[in-house]
Amino acid sequence: MTRGRWLGIDVGSVRVGVALSDPDGVLATPLATVARDAARGSDLDTIAGLVAEHDVVGVVVGLPRTLAGREGPAAEAAREYATALAARLDGDVPVAFSDERLTTVVATRQMRESGRKGRRQRVVVDQVAAVAILQGWLDARR
């Protein structure tokens, strides 16, 4: 694994959660929630800006699979998003995928258990899911 900061992405239809690792690739932390802009792609520009700002060496996009391990429409949408992001990054930063089964469910449960509910929870649940995606990927690489 290349040493440096990695970005984790949880792609949603309304928001995109973003997490960032430390330079040693040990710990993922929440970074941002970006409003999804399928029409103009401004969310992709924002994420490309984060990649440049934090000197990111690679991006990990969550790939939602069914519990049976199959890919459906959500996985196809995540793959399309990753392709569009890779194009924005001009191929300079590799984009990988990580199985994200149940990460949003787990993130929502963690938020509820910590006392965050409703609107306050929705604002950060995508970031928490992105942390889970990136942390799982980092742990698997060590």
The string of pLDDT tens digits covering residues 46-76 is 999 999 999 999 999 999 987 777 888 889 9
Long-range CB pairs of 53-56, under 8 A, 24+ apart, other chains included: 54/5, 54/7, 54/20, 55/4, 55/5, 56/4, 56/5, 56/6, 56/7, 56/20, 56/93
The reported pLDDT for the residue numbered 110 is 65
pLDDT above 70 as % of the chain: 83
Cβ atoms 9, 133 nearer than 8 A: yes
The reported pLDDT for the residue numbered 62 is 95
The reported pLDDT for the residue numbered 104 is 62
- 101 token code pair: 């089964």
Closest by CA to 78, choosing from 16, 142, 32, is: 16
The more confident residue out of 135 and 121 is: 135
Is domain 5-141 in CATH 3.90.1150.10, yes or no?
no
Per-residue pLDDT, averaged over 83-89, amounts to 96
Long-range CB pairs of 136-140, under 8 A, 24+ apart, other chains included: 136/98, 136/99, 136/103, 137/6, 137/8, 137/60, 137/96, 137/98, 138/6, 138/21, 138/25, 138/26, 138/27, 138/28, 140/98
pLDDT over 80 (residue 117) = no
pLDDT band with cut points at 50, 70 and 90 for residue 86: very high
The reported pLDDT for the residue numbered 15 is 93
Q: How far apart are CA 25 and CA 142, in angstroms?
A: 9
Tell me the per-residue pLDDT of 5-44, one tens digit each, with 9 for 90 and over: 999 999 999 999 999 999 999 999 999 999 999 899 999 9
Per-residue pLDDT, averaged over 94-120, amounts to 71
Mean pLDDT in the chain? 88
